[in-house]
Amino acid sequence: MTGRRPLVSGNWKMHLTHLEAIQVIQKLSYALDRTDRQAVDVSVHPAFTALRSVQTVIDADEIPVALGAQDVHWEEKGAWTGEVSPVMLAKLNVRYVIVGHSERRQHFGETDDMVARKLRATLRAGMTPICCVGETLAQRDAGHTHDVVVGQLRAALDGVDPAAVAGLAVAYEPVWAIGTGRNATPDDAQAVCAALRSAVGECCGADAAAGVRVQYGGSVNAGNAAELLAGPDVDGALVGGASLDPDGFAAIVGAAG
C-alpha cells in the first residue's frame, strides 16, 4: 500500500457549453454513486465559460467531485487580455489546475519557464497544480523519454517548497498517445511514473516523493484503465475524451479504486 489516494481528473478541453456541462456533471453524479467514491479523488476541468455553472451544481447537490481548471495565468491581475488569474479561479472554489498540458506547450508555445510560473502561482492561490509532462513520438523513438519528462518536471519544480511538492500532482501524458487511440503499455506507464517519482526524490526529498501523486494520461478509457493504473507508482489518471461520457468516466474512477 502506498498510502496515496488516487486522483482521476477529467479534462473536458474545448467541449461543452455551460448548459451541456451542467447536464454532464449531473449525470456523472448519478454514475459515480455506483462506484467506491471513498477510495478515489475525482476532479473535472470544464472550459472557463462553464466553471461557474458546474461549481453551482457541485455545491448545490453536494456532489463529491472537485472543480478544476484547464489553465491559468501566473499574474494575479493586470493587462493580460484573454487570460484568467489564479485569484479568479480560487474564488470559484477551483481546487485543481492543469499546468503545462502538452497542447498548451505544442500549440500555444508554452515554455518550461511559463509552466513553472503557472505552477507557483497556483500554489500561492491555495490550489493544487496538476503538472503535465510528456514526450513526443520522435523523442520516444530516439530513446529520450526519461530525459525529456524528468527535465520538464525539474524545471517546473525548481524553487518550490518540498512540502508543497508532496501535495501536488504530476501527470505523465505521452504526447503521442493523446487523442490518437494509442497509449503506453502498463509497463511503460509504471516505468515513467516511477522515474518521475525518483526525480522528485532527488530534487525535493523522500517525503515529497512519497506524497506526490503521479497520474497517467493518454487515451485512457474504461477498457484499459484497470491495467494502466495497476502500477504501484501510478496514482490515477488524467482523462481527456473519455471523461465526456459520464458512465465511462465513472468506470475509470472505479478502476482506480
Which residues are part of the catalytic machinery? Answer: 101, 173
**Distances from the Cα of 253 to the Cαs of 28, 210, 238, in angstroms?**
11, 22, 11
Q: Locate cell 497517467: which residue?
A: 216
**Beta bridge partner(s), residue 43:** 9, 66
CB 213 within 8 A of CB 7: yes
Residues 6+ apart with CB under 8 A from 152: 100, 112, 115, 133, 134
| Phi, psi for 149 (deg, rounded to 5) | -70, -40
Q: Side chain identity at 169, as an amino acid letter?
A: A
